Amino acid sequence: MPIARSGVLWRRIFFLLLIASTASFVSYVQHEFPHGGSRWGVIYGSVGFVLCFLLAFFGVRKRWYRSTFGTVEQWMQSHIYLGVFVLIILLFHAGGRFGDKVAVATLVLVAIVVLSGILGAILYITVPRLLTEVESNLTVDEVSEQINQLGKQMARISSGRSAPFQRIYEQLIRELSPGWLAGWRLLFSRMRRGKAPLADWTNLLSLVQKDEQEELRQLLVVSRQRKELLIRLMYQQRYKNILEFWLYIHVPFTILLLLFAILHVAAVFYYGRISW
């Protein structure tokens, strides 16, 4: 997959920032004891603090359609590379000293947010390609309507039939029912791709009277069509669930991170831990 021009630009910016910050940190540890309250520790911490809030603005920018301050693609690329840089710069800020519980919690939150962001970036590259393999020209609502219509057709075919016929119909309907907590099971389950396996029609046909066997064949054909549509719809929903699931980690932990960052800075000034 070709890398967007903004991606190449921000990759270069990232490596320049990484080289510059690493060089400054090496010089810093050679001349003084590294810790968060030193001059360089405060500089690293201030840069990380500002970047955390700047990166959080991406969630606002991508919904701010009238803004001309950079494209969404540019903001996304900066979000990824600067997010990784924040984790590095805050490690430099700590200087390998992890005595403060709030500071440690803040650093852990940064790691969670950055790693979940990287996961989200990977998903946004891979999942849309998988989604195109199962999507059709029909919308989700149109596919759902077709599934409902086929279900009604199955009900009409089985209406007024014998008890064995009705039992087969009910069994087919149960097999196609989503069930309890279907969304979560769909997200974490492993699904086999391809057409639905054909049932053993011979055994099923032998369960009903001869004058109902033709109608049962029709029922089984409609059931198979409905199942294939349902599997396609489930794949679409599965991929969309995966695209959204990581946000349930990324967004709440980002909010927690900002709160802990403010708390950490407030504690530093309150207890006077800055030593120049």
Q: How far apart are the first and last CA of the chain?
A: 48
- The ranges assigned to domains in the chain are 5-134+246-271, 140-243
Structure tokens at 64: 């701010």
Confidence of residue 183 (pLDDT cuts 50, 70, 90): low
CB of 155 closer than 8 Å to CB of 197: no
Residues 6 or more apart in contact with residue 266 via CB below 8 angstroms: none
Give Dmax (Cα) for the chain: 95
Cα–Cα distance, 201 to 150 (Å, whole number):
19
Of 95 and 65, the structure prediction assigns the larger pLDDT to 95
pLDDT at 152 over 70: yes
Cα–Cα distance, 79 to 84 (Å, whole number):
9
CB of 114 closer than 8 Å to CB of 86: yes
Query: What pLDDT is attached to residue 77?
Result: 82
Query: What pLDDT is attached to residue 274?
Result: 63
Structure tokens at 139: 């919308």
Cα–Cα distance, 256 to 109 (Å, whole number):
7
Cα–Cα distance, 91 to 229 (Å, whole number):
51
Q: Which of 94-103, 235-244, 253-262 has the highest mean pLDDT?
A: 253-262
Query: What pLDDT is attached to residue 9?
Result: 85
Find, among 257, 17, 272, 243, the residue nearest to 130 by Cα. Answer: 243
Arithmetic mean of pLDDT, 103-107: 90
Confidence of residue 24 (pLDDT cuts 50, 70, 90): very high
Confidence of residue 195 (pLDDT cuts 50, 70, 90): very low
CA distances from 127 to 119, 135, 244, 256 (A): 11, 12, 11, 28
Confidence of residue 198 (pLDDT cuts 50, 70, 90): very low
Percent of the chain residues past pLDDT 90, beyond the cut:
29
pLDDT, averaged across the chain: 81
pLDDT tens digits for 222-247? Answer: 998 888 888 778 777 777 778 788 88
Three-state SS at 18: helix
Q: Using only C-alpha atoms, what is the Rg of the chain?
A: 29
